[in-house]
Amino acid sequence: MTSGYLEMQTGAGSTRSQGDHVFIVGIRNPHRSVLICVAITLVAFASIAWGVFDMQAAGQETLNSGLKIGLALLPAILAPLMALNFFWGMKVMARVRRGEKAIARWSVAAADLAEFAAVDKARDARGFEHINDWSPPREPPSSGIEVIFVPDAVLVGDTYFSLANKGFFRFTGVRMLGQNPPVIAFQTVTTYANRFGTRTTAGELRIPVAPLASAEAARIVTHFEGVGAGKIVANPDFYRRRVRFGLIGAPIFLSISALGLVLGPNDVSDASVSIPSLMLIIGLVAGIAMLILALAASLLGGAQRRKP
Protein backbone atom coordinates (compact mmCIF):
# COMPACT_ATOMS: atom_id res chain seq x y z
CA MET A 1 0.00 0.00 0.00
CA THR A 2 2.10 2.88 -1.24
CA SER A 3 1.55 6.38 -2.36
CA GLY A 4 0.69 5.96 -6.03
CA TYR A 5 1.12 4.31 -9.41
CA LEU A 6 4.78 5.28 -9.74
CA GLU A 7 5.43 5.57 -6.04
CA MET A 8 5.55 9.32 -6.53
CA GLN A 9 5.51 11.21 -3.30
CA THR A 10 5.85 14.75 -4.43
CA GLY A 11 2.74 16.72 -3.64
CA ALA A 12 1.30 19.15 -1.14
CA GLY A 13 3.27 17.80 1.80
CA SER A 14 6.26 18.55 4.00
CA THR A 15 8.86 20.89 2.51
CA ARG A 16 12.65 20.83 2.70
CA SER A 17 14.92 23.43 1.07
CA GLN A 18 18.58 23.65 0.12
CA GLY A 19 19.90 26.78 -1.51
CA ASP A 20 17.70 27.57 -4.49
CA HIS A 21 16.01 24.18 -4.44
CA VAL A 22 12.83 23.20 -2.62
CA PHE A 23 11.86 19.56 -2.18
CA ILE A 24 8.40 18.38 -1.17
CA VAL A 25 7.99 14.85 0.17
CA GLY A 26 4.99 13.06 1.54
CA ILE A 27 1.39 13.41 0.40
CA ARG A 28 -0.93 15.92 2.01
CA ASN A 29 -4.32 16.94 0.58
CA PRO A 30 -4.23 14.60 -2.45
CA HIS A 31 -7.72 15.75 -3.47
CA ARG A 32 -6.36 19.21 -4.31
CA SER A 33 -3.41 17.65 -6.13
CA VAL A 34 -5.78 15.55 -8.28
CA LEU A 35 -7.70 18.68 -9.30
CA ILE A 36 -4.47 20.50 -10.21
CA CYS A 37 -3.23 17.56 -12.31
CA VAL A 38 -6.59 17.23 -14.07
CA ALA A 39 -6.53 20.96 -14.88
CA ILE A 40 -3.00 20.66 -16.30
CA THR A 41 -4.10 17.63 -18.35
CA LEU A 42 -7.05 19.50 -19.83
CA VAL A 43 -4.92 22.53 -20.70
CA ALA A 44 -2.25 20.29 -22.30
CA PHE A 45 -4.76 18.39 -24.43
CA ALA A 46 -6.50 21.64 -25.37
CA SER A 47 -3.14 23.02 -26.55
CA ILE A 48 -2.53 19.88 -28.61
CA ALA A 49 -6.01 20.13 -30.13
CA TRP A 50 -5.45 23.83 -30.89
CA GLY A 51 -2.18 22.98 -32.61
CA VAL A 52 -3.93 20.30 -34.69
CA PHE A 53 -6.68 22.74 -35.67
CA ASP A 54 -4.10 25.35 -36.74
CA MET A 55 -2.23 22.74 -38.76
CA GLN A 56 -5.43 21.64 -40.50
CA ALA A 57 -6.40 25.23 -41.27
CA ALA A 58 -2.99 26.07 -42.73
CA GLY A 59 -2.72 22.79 -44.63
CA GLN A 60 0.75 22.22 -43.13
CA GLU A 61 2.64 22.34 -39.88
CA THR A 62 3.57 25.85 -38.81
CA LEU A 63 5.80 27.22 -36.07
CA ASN A 64 2.77 28.08 -33.93
CA SER A 65 1.12 24.68 -34.33
CA GLY A 66 4.41 22.91 -33.65
CA LEU A 67 4.96 24.87 -30.44
CA LYS A 68 1.40 24.28 -29.23
CA ILE A 69 1.74 20.54 -29.74
CA GLY A 70 5.38 20.13 -28.74
CA LEU A 71 5.25 22.10 -25.50
CA ALA A 72 2.10 20.29 -24.38
CA LEU A 73 3.26 16.73 -25.02
CA LEU A 74 5.25 16.23 -21.82
CA PRO A 75 2.52 17.65 -19.51
CA ALA A 76 -0.04 15.59 -21.43
CA ILE A 77 1.94 12.44 -20.59
CA LEU A 78 2.96 13.20 -17.00
CA ALA A 79 -0.10 15.02 -15.63
CA PRO A 80 -2.53 12.09 -16.10
CA LEU A 81 -0.07 9.77 -14.37
CA MET A 82 0.28 12.23 -11.50
CA ALA A 83 -3.52 12.51 -11.28
CA LEU A 84 -3.77 8.73 -11.03
CA ASN A 85 -1.03 8.79 -8.40
CA PHE A 86 -2.83 11.28 -6.18
CA PHE A 87 -6.24 9.66 -6.77
CA TRP A 88 -4.74 6.42 -5.57
CA GLY A 89 -3.25 8.32 -2.65
CA MET A 90 -6.74 9.50 -1.65
CA LYS A 91 -7.98 5.93 -1.54
CA VAL A 92 -4.90 4.65 0.31
CA MET A 93 -5.08 7.35 2.98
CA ALA A 94 -8.78 6.62 3.52
CA ARG A 95 -8.02 2.90 3.99
CA VAL A 96 -5.21 3.65 6.41
CA ARG A 97 -7.48 5.89 8.50
CA ARG A 98 -10.02 3.06 8.64
CA GLY A 99 -7.29 0.87 10.11
CA GLU A 100 -6.92 -1.52 7.18
CA LYS A 101 -3.60 -3.43 7.40
CA ALA A 102 -2.51 -1.27 10.36
CA ILE A 103 0.41 -2.79 12.28
CA ALA A 104 0.68 -0.01 14.88
CA ARG A 105 -1.42 2.96 15.89
CA TRP A 106 -1.12 5.58 18.60
CA SER A 107 -2.16 9.13 19.44
CA VAL A 108 0.36 11.81 20.42
CA ALA A 109 -1.11 14.31 22.86
CA ALA A 110 -0.82 18.04 22.18
CA ALA A 111 1.66 18.58 25.05
CA ASP A 112 3.89 15.72 23.84
CA LEU A 113 3.68 17.02 20.28
CA ALA A 114 4.74 20.51 21.38
CA GLU A 115 7.71 19.04 23.24
CA PHE A 116 8.62 16.93 20.20
CA ALA A 117 8.44 20.01 17.94
CA ALA A 118 10.82 21.96 20.16
CA VAL A 119 13.42 19.17 20.19
CA ASP A 120 12.87 18.53 16.47
CA LYS A 121 13.55 22.17 15.60
CA ALA A 122 16.90 21.99 17.41
CA ARG A 123 17.77 18.81 15.50
CA ASP A 124 16.83 20.49 12.18
CA ALA A 125 19.43 23.17 12.93
CA ARG A 126 22.25 20.60 12.74
CA GLY A 127 22.24 20.70 8.94
CA PHE A 128 20.25 19.93 5.82
CA GLU A 129 20.57 16.16 6.17
CA HIS A 130 18.97 16.40 9.64
CA ILE A 131 15.88 18.38 8.57
CA ASN A 132 12.79 16.34 9.30
CA ASP A 133 10.92 15.23 6.18
CA TRP A 134 7.73 15.68 8.20
CA SER A 135 6.91 19.17 9.43
CA PRO A 136 5.09 19.18 12.79
CA PRO A 137 2.10 21.56 12.89
CA ARG A 138 3.02 25.07 14.07
CA GLU A 139 0.05 25.01 16.43
CA PRO A 140 -0.48 21.48 17.81
CA PRO A 141 -4.20 20.59 17.65
CA SER A 142 -5.81 20.29 21.07
CA SER A 143 -6.68 16.67 20.33
CA GLY A 144 -3.10 15.85 19.32
CA ILE A 145 -2.34 13.80 16.19
CA GLU A 146 -2.69 10.17 15.26
CA VAL A 147 0.14 8.04 13.89
CA ILE A 148 -0.77 4.92 11.90
CA PHE A 149 1.77 2.49 10.47
CA VAL A 150 0.97 -0.05 7.76
CA PRO A 151 3.52 -2.57 6.42
CA ASP A 152 4.96 -0.15 3.84
CA ALA A 153 3.95 3.36 4.93
CA VAL A 154 3.00 5.72 7.74
CA LEU A 155 0.25 8.30 8.10
CA VAL A 156 1.36 10.91 10.62
CA GLY A 157 -1.32 13.49 11.23
CA ASP A 158 -2.53 14.45 7.76
CA THR A 159 0.66 13.51 5.86
CA TYR A 160 1.33 10.13 4.23
CA PHE A 161 4.80 8.72 3.61
CA SER A 162 5.64 5.60 1.64
CA LEU A 163 8.33 3.60 3.43
CA ALA A 164 10.05 1.47 0.80
CA ASN A 165 13.69 0.53 0.38
CA LYS A 166 13.54 1.27 -3.37
CA GLY A 167 12.13 4.16 -5.36
CA PHE A 168 12.40 7.93 -5.65
CA PHE A 169 11.79 8.40 -1.91
CA ARG A 170 13.19 5.55 0.16
CA PHE A 171 14.63 4.81 3.56
CA THR A 172 18.04 3.30 4.22
CA GLY A 173 17.86 2.75 7.98
CA VAL A 174 15.59 3.04 11.02
CA ARG A 175 16.26 3.47 14.74
CA MET A 176 14.80 4.75 17.97
CA LEU A 177 16.04 8.07 19.31
CA GLY A 178 16.34 8.30 23.08
CA GLN A 179 14.53 11.54 23.78
CA ASN A 180 11.28 12.65 25.36
CA PRO A 181 8.88 11.85 23.81
CA PRO A 182 10.47 8.84 22.07
CA VAL A 183 11.05 9.13 18.33
CA ILE A 184 11.32 6.68 15.44
CA ALA A 185 13.87 8.01 12.94
CA PHE A 186 14.16 6.81 9.34
CA GLN A 187 17.24 7.74 7.32
CA THR A 188 15.82 8.70 3.92
CA VAL A 189 17.10 9.32 0.42
CA THR A 190 15.23 11.41 -2.17
CA THR A 191 16.08 11.30 -5.88
CA TYR A 192 14.86 14.22 -7.96
CA ALA A 193 15.48 15.69 -11.40
CA ASN A 194 17.01 19.07 -12.19
CA ARG A 195 18.31 20.72 -15.35
CA PHE A 196 21.60 18.80 -15.10
CA GLY A 197 20.04 15.34 -14.67
CA THR A 198 19.24 13.65 -11.37
CA ARG A 199 20.41 14.34 -7.85
CA THR A 200 20.12 12.44 -4.59
CA THR A 201 19.79 14.04 -1.16
CA ALA A 202 19.88 12.45 2.28
CA GLY A 203 17.32 13.29 4.93
CA GLU A 204 15.57 12.01 8.01
CA LEU A 205 11.95 11.23 8.77
CA ARG A 206 11.23 11.50 12.49
CA ILE A 207 7.93 10.30 13.92
CA PRO A 208 6.88 11.00 17.55
CA VAL A 209 5.90 8.03 19.70
CA ALA A 210 3.25 8.19 22.41
CA PRO A 211 4.71 7.49 25.88
CA LEU A 212 2.61 4.33 26.26
CA ALA A 213 3.40 3.00 22.76
CA SER A 214 7.04 2.01 23.30
CA ALA A 215 6.35 -1.69 22.69
CA GLU A 216 4.53 -0.93 19.43
CA ALA A 217 7.34 1.39 18.35
CA ALA A 218 9.91 -1.35 18.98
CA ARG A 219 7.91 -3.72 16.75
CA ILE A 220 7.81 -1.04 14.03
CA VAL A 221 11.60 -0.64 14.15
CA THR A 222 12.06 -4.42 13.89
CA HIS A 223 9.62 -4.65 10.99
CA PHE A 224 11.26 -1.90 8.93
CA GLU A 225 14.74 -3.23 9.68
CA GLY A 226 13.52 -6.37 7.92
CA VAL A 227 12.12 -4.34 5.03
CA GLY A 228 15.37 -2.40 4.69
CA ALA A 229 17.43 -5.62 4.72
CA GLY A 230 15.24 -7.14 1.99
CA LYS A 231 13.99 -9.89 4.32
CA ILE A 232 10.41 -8.56 4.17
CA VAL A 233 8.64 -7.47 0.97
CA ALA A 234 5.83 -5.40 2.45
CA ASN A 235 3.64 -5.16 -0.66
CA PRO A 236 4.81 -7.68 -3.28
CA ASP A 237 1.89 -7.11 -5.68
CA PHE A 238 2.16 -3.33 -5.85
CA TYR A 239 4.41 -3.04 -8.91
CA ARG A 240 2.98 -6.11 -10.64
CA ARG A 241 -0.46 -4.49 -10.67
CA ARG A 242 0.99 -1.29 -12.17
CA VAL A 243 2.82 -3.24 -14.89
CA ARG A 244 -0.42 -5.06 -15.72
CA PHE A 245 -2.37 -1.79 -15.81
CA GLY A 246 0.17 -0.19 -18.15
CA LEU A 247 0.36 -3.19 -20.47
CA ILE A 248 -3.43 -3.34 -20.76
CA GLY A 249 -3.84 0.42 -21.26
CA ALA A 250 -1.02 0.85 -23.81
CA PRO A 251 -2.44 -1.31 -26.64
CA ILE A 252 -5.92 0.18 -26.13
CA PHE A 253 -4.70 3.75 -26.55
CA LEU A 254 -2.25 2.85 -29.33
CA SER A 255 -5.11 1.13 -31.16
CA ILE A 256 -7.10 4.37 -30.95
CA SER A 257 -4.07 6.17 -32.39
CA ALA A 258 -3.75 3.62 -35.20
CA LEU A 259 -7.45 3.97 -35.98
CA GLY A 260 -6.99 7.73 -36.30
CA LEU A 261 -4.12 7.12 -38.72
CA VAL A 262 -6.26 4.79 -40.84
CA LEU A 263 -9.22 7.19 -40.89
CA GLY A 264 -7.08 10.23 -41.68
CA PRO A 265 -7.09 9.98 -45.51
CA ASN A 266 -10.89 9.61 -45.53
CA ASP A 267 -11.54 12.42 -43.03
CA VAL A 268 -14.75 14.24 -43.90
CA SER A 269 -14.96 16.35 -40.74
CA ASP A 270 -14.85 20.13 -40.71
CA ALA A 271 -11.43 21.49 -41.72
CA SER A 272 -10.93 23.13 -38.35
CA VAL A 273 -11.76 19.97 -36.35
CA SER A 274 -10.01 16.78 -37.44
CA ILE A 275 -11.28 13.91 -35.29
CA PRO A 276 -8.82 11.35 -36.77
CA SER A 277 -5.90 13.69 -36.04
CA LEU A 278 -7.05 14.08 -32.43
CA MET A 279 -7.42 10.29 -32.14
CA LEU A 280 -3.91 9.85 -33.53
CA ILE A 281 -2.20 12.30 -31.19
CA ILE A 282 -4.18 11.71 -28.00
CA GLY A 283 -4.05 7.92 -28.43
CA LEU A 284 -0.30 8.07 -29.03
CA VAL A 285 0.34 10.31 -26.01
CA ALA A 286 -1.79 8.16 -23.69
CA GLY A 287 -0.26 4.94 -25.04
CA ILE A 288 3.26 6.24 -24.41
CA ALA A 289 2.21 7.23 -20.88
CA MET A 290 0.99 3.67 -20.23
CA LEU A 291 4.25 2.21 -21.55
CA ILE A 292 6.25 4.57 -19.30
CA LEU A 293 4.13 3.45 -16.35
CA ALA A 294 4.70 -0.23 -17.13
CA LEU A 295 8.45 0.27 -17.64
CA ALA A 296 8.93 2.30 -14.45
CA ALA A 297 6.88 -0.16 -12.39
CA SER A 298 8.80 -3.11 -13.87
CA LEU A 299 12.17 -1.53 -13.03
CA LEU A 300 11.11 -0.61 -9.49
CA GLY A 301 9.55 -4.03 -8.96
CA GLY A 302 12.77 -5.74 -10.05
CA ALA A 303 14.77 -3.56 -7.67
CA GLN A 304 12.34 -4.38 -4.85
CA ARG A 305 12.78 -8.12 -5.36
CA ARG A 306 16.59 -7.90 -5.31
CA LYS A 307 18.06 -8.02 -1.83
CA PRO A 308 20.39 -5.11 -0.95
pTM, two decimal places: 0.70
Q: Which tens digit of pLDDT belongs to each residue from 205-240? A: 999 999 999 999 999 999 999 988 877 766 667 677
Q: pLDDT class for 11, splitting at 50, 70, 90?
A: very low
Q: With beta carbons less than 8 A apart as the criterion, state whether 113 and 136 touch.
A: yes
108 in Cβ contact with 210 (< 8 Å): yes
Q: What are phi and psi of 207, to 5 degrees?
A: -120, 125
Please report the pLDDT score of residue 67 as a whole number.
81
Cis geometry, peptide bond prior to residue 141 (ω within 30 degrees of 0): no
Q: Which amino acid is residue 193, in one-letter code? A: A
When pLDDT is averaged across residues 172-190 and rounded to a whole number, the result is: 90
Q: Within 10 Å of residue 74's Cβ, how many Cβ atoms?
A: 11
pLDDT at 278: 72
Q: Please measure the distance between the N-terminal and C-terminal CA atoms of the chain and give it in whole angstroms.
A: 21
pLDDT in tens, 272-304: 556 677 778 778 888 888 888 888 878 877 766
On the 0-12 / 13-18 / 19+ scale of CB atoms within 10 A, 248 is: exposed
Q: Which pLDDT belongs to residue 173? A: 93
Instruction: Report how far residue 250's alpha carbon sits from residue 81's, in angstroms, rounded to the nearest whole number.
Output: 13
- Out of 112-121, 150-159, 183-192, 252-261, pick the least confident: 252-261
Taking a C-beta distance cutoff of 8 angstroms, is the pair 165, 231 a contact? no
pLDDT at 5: 35
**Which string of DSSP letters, residue by residue, matches 191-253?**
EEEETTEEEEEEEEEEEE--TT-HHHHHHHHHHHHHHHTTS--S-TTHHHHHHHHHHHHHHHH
The Cα–Cα gap between 52 and 296 comes to: 30
Residue 238: partners with Cβ closer than 8 Å, 6 or more residues away: 1, 2, 7, 152, 301
Contacts 24+ apart (CB under 8 A), 240-244: 240/297, 240/301, 242/5, 242/6, 242/293, 242/294, 242/296, 242/297, 242/301, 243/294, 243/297, 243/298, 243/301
